[in-house]
Amino acid sequence: MLDLAIASRITIPAMNTANTPPLSSAEAMRSLDLGIAGMTCASCVGRVERALRKVPGVHEASVNLATESARIAFVTSVGADAAAMEALLRRAVRNAGYEPRAAGQEDAPEDSSPWAGFMPVGIGLLLSAPLVLPMVGDLFGQHWMLPAWVQFVLATPVQFILGARFYKAGWHAAKALSGNMDLLVALGTSAGWGLSMWLWLTAHEGHVPHLYFEASAVVVTLVLLGKWLEARAKRQTTAAIRALHALRPDVVHLLGKDGEVDVPVAEVLVGDRLVVRPGERFPVDGTVHEGHTQVDESMLTGEPLPVARDVGSPLTGGSINGDGRIVMAVTAVGAETVLAHIIRLVEDAQAAKAPIQRLVDQVSAVFVPVVLVVALATLLGWLWMGVGMEAALIHAVAVMVIACPCALGLATPAAIMAGTGVAAKNGILIKDVQALELAHKVDVVAFDKTGTLTVGQPRLTAFEVVRGLDDAAVMAAVAAVQSGSEHPLARAVLAAAGERQIRVATAQDVRAVPGRGTEGEVAGQSYLVGSLRWMQELGVDMGPLADRADALQREGATVSAVAQRAPQGLQLQALMAFGDEPKPGAREALAALKARGIRTVMISGDNRGAAEAMARRLGLDPDAGEVMAEVLPGDKAAKVVALQQGADGKRHQVAMVGDGVNDAPALAAADVGMAMGNGTDVAMHAAGITLMRGDPMLVAAALDISRRTVMKIRQNLFWAFAYNVAGIPLAALGFLSPVVAGAAMALSSVSVMANALLLKRWRM
């Protein structure tokens, strides 16, 4: 099964402050992922959750049937031993009748064979086949009947050896005054077997009664077959996680004093030099130290074309080296690598519980007790009608068998696992299942401009100084003030200074003014570099360059100014104009969203002229309110809230797409946050969805995979509910035999998994 389901790890979770009581300074919130073996249906999920929530200190517990895992959030005292709390949680799981898994433990060695685990099912089929043969003969007018003792010999091993798992789990459920699928199967098949024994032992000499050994044996076998098919389907839904784990090689070529030495990847340290040969996977993250090559990053980004990598270029663990032998310098290992973060995001999404699952949990909490009451009512009702104990008991058995809520427990997690898996394969990482569930409702998408819709590498297109000043001296001062900044405009200034071979001095007392610019001292003179709006706020006289600034803005350039502090006040020194280019495919991506009826809006900190000029190049209409210009970083979240409220008074579902640190509040405020994978870690942590390629076309793809996944969830829940709603009355009225009920019950679980697996066929 899934590695995540068998691993237990303790982390500090992202807190939901809206639902979390305030912690004292002596408390800390922690999270534990715990594997759980033995769960079979939605009722098991509810039982385990209730057991975990009763443990003192547990704030929340969410159990996932498809991944056979639990995520528990609990409060401990600062400095307390988390291992003691983990032991309490494991004991609670065991007392509930299930098996907590130790870290790294699996039920059985991983077997990639499609027939793995089939032996018990095969034995059951071999023993049950002779019992079913007389039923087949009846269809052709042949009345074959095996001797009673032969039926007993064939059915009893199936009932009590192959079916032992149902008795064990059912007994634990009964002791806890609860119910689950195993209890229903154990009670139903035991009733059929016991009735057969009673009829056989009390029959008059020479009379051969009709026995029901075949019903009990076939039901047990069919349930085992359904669980085997279900497990086989689960292995397919978790293929994405296993494929990501397989990207990490076990051995690396460490370059040491004595040349290349093969060592386990676990021994690699940051700063090591590794040799990577053509065709090998990069084991960890790093940079090219020697050589150049082409790198295939398709498994991480979904991008099929290889990318060139030269000295100093970044390398991502799990990608494939092309045709060049290179030496890489290690920059991240273990859990800090990009691949490890990706695996963690996908695991977290698959382990989490979607909001729609709450309905299933509420139903399953009372489902099994209600079924037992219905089965008892069926028994008493048929007895009251005078059909006899034999027929009444068979109808009650059919009710218990067909009512097993397996499909209910699998409907949502199976679809989520398949959807997040195929999304990850295409470069869309969904770490928040709530974002996955909400994305299909999005009717407004807001884009940050720089780095999201544009290349994000602006060039200095104009540098005009006040008459009488030296161009090179002013640019040297500006470059010095900007040298410590990571802002794209600052990098453009430094690049231009480098092209002109201008020597950049060292600035003193550099201070960034968020959303406005930078101030610093160069050679004893104080300079301010920033937006025209900042200059206006400071009262800087634009003088003869005012008309030129207006003209550059009308042309679509982003214009900044340089001022110097003087005894008579701030004096304008120069104007700088910057130009950026739209990302390839950005215009088509916006058009695709509009074609779906989704409103698109660009949010930018640029002046209105520059923002509107770029918007028109992207196919946006400023006159229709599709451009929000001159927005300070701290105001982006407020703009998202305004889009949610809507000018028409209607509540809108808004997705925000960004890539920078200043986008994080807006990403968190949006209903669905999407971060570009080429952006910052802060943005990726604030967003529910990460687009690994930084391609705007992935926005429409993410919304589409959300729509299809939610559609599969609804289909699964409909059929799971419809199956039980229709099946129970039919069984109670005597239209279904236990054998048919067992087959239908097994088929329902398999059909839910198969329907979810159709998502694997999704293509962008």
- Catalytically active residues are 448
Closest CA to 63 of 85, 83, 82, 40: 40
Measure Cα distances from 666 to 166, 610, 657, 672, 714 in Å: 51, 22, 9, 10, 30
Rounded to 5°, the CA angle 698-704-710 comes to 135
CB count within 10 Å of CB 143 equals 7
d(CA 206, CA 294): 84
Is 643 in contact with 446 (CB distance < 8 Å)? yes
* CA nearest neighbour of 714 among 676, 756, 754: 756
Give the start-end residues of each E strand in 78-115.
99-101
Characterize 262-284 residue by residue with b for buried, 16 or more Cβ atoms within 10 angstroms of its Cβ, and e for exposed.
eeebeebeeebbbbbeeeebbbb
Walk across the sheet containing 251-256 and list its strands: 259-264, 251-256, 273-276, 326-332, 285-290, 314-315
Distance between first and last Cα of the chain: 28
Euclidean distance between CA atoms 461 and 395, whole angstroms:
84
- CA-to-CA distance for 656 and 650, rounded, in angstroms? 18
Contacts (Cβ under 8 Å, ≥6 apart) of 88: 55
How many CB atoms within 10 Å of residue 644?
A: 16
- Beta-strand (E) ranges in 203-357? 251-256, 259-264, 273-276, 285-290, 293-296, 307-309, 314-315, 320-321, 326-332
Dihedral (CA of 521, 522, 525, 529) sign: negative
> What type of residue is 418?
A
Reading the block at residue 38, the tokens are 């033995």
